[in-house]
Amino acid sequence: MNLYLLPMLLAENSHPQALTPYSVEMIRTLKVFFVENVKTTRRFISSLKLGVVIDELRFIEVNKDTPFEKIFDVLSALKEDAGILSEAGCAGVADPGGLIVEAGHQLGFSIRPLVGPNSILLALMGSGLNGQSFAFHGYLPIPENERAARIRALEKEAIQRNQTQIFMETPYRNNQMLQTLLKTLGPQTRLCVAADLTAGTEYILTRSVAAWKRHPLPDLHKRPAIFLIN
């Protein structure tokens, strides 16, 4: 049996053409989906206007707190192909889909990753920073002193290795993150802010920290964003 890693649009107003025809066809064909949020997944599939009856689909919720044993048991009982739809855009990258894939490998499923929009790679592509060597760190610590210490460590890594450092923040704390970055990083460090990727309000801009401080800052409140330094 096959386990398909299906891409999802990054924003509700993203153009459906961000998905490949093959990915859309597999979403139309499959009847079982592992998802992070049933409500948003149902809305997403409905928006594609594929002619499927949503109530005939089976959705299995998996989040960061779902025990691996539960995932394994559910997957082992399946008798048909299934898909993974991630809130993060690409299943298994910065989301709990990796646990499903791990269980799939153990159970002998054929793993079929399908290409689609991924905010991490899109931000890196649009940043102009080093795309030959980079690292993604997910979320940074929330306490201000711990966060600043982590940022300084990542900046040191970026300088020593010439390696782009990539991280993110909960959308409602994005403005605070940007302020902390500008207070903590050295003036010559390059900072890229990439927000609302693939949406009509897409924003990607790379400047030195010194240059960022000379210009009005974007309002990133509640806008999905990726931050990169090098």
Q: Encoding tokens for residue 106? A: 């153990």
pLDDT tens per residue, range 151-196: 999 999 999 999 999 999 999 999 999 999 999 999 999 999 999 9
List, in order, residues 6 or more apart from 156 with CB less than 8 Å away: none
Could you give the CA distance from residue 189 to residue 90 in angstroms, rounded to a whole number? 29
Question: Of residues 15 and 119, which shows the higher confidence score?
Answer: 119
pLDDT tens per residue, range 185-224: 999 999 999 999 988 899 999 999 999 999 999 999 999 9
Could you give the CA distance from residue 111 to residue 83 in angstroms, rounded to a whole number? 10
With residues binned 3-state (H G I as helix, E B as strand, rest as coil), the percentages for the chain, rounded to 5, are 40, 20, 40
Contact between residue 180 and residue 208 where contact means Cβ atoms under 8 Å apart: no
Q: Encoding tokens for residue 39? A: 């409500």
Contact between residue 189 and residue 208 where contact means Cβ atoms under 8 Å apart: yes
Could you give the CA distance from residue 116 to residue 6 in angstroms, rounded to a whole number? 8
* Domains identified in the chain and CATH numbers: 2-113 (3.40.1010.10), 119-229 (3.30.950.10)
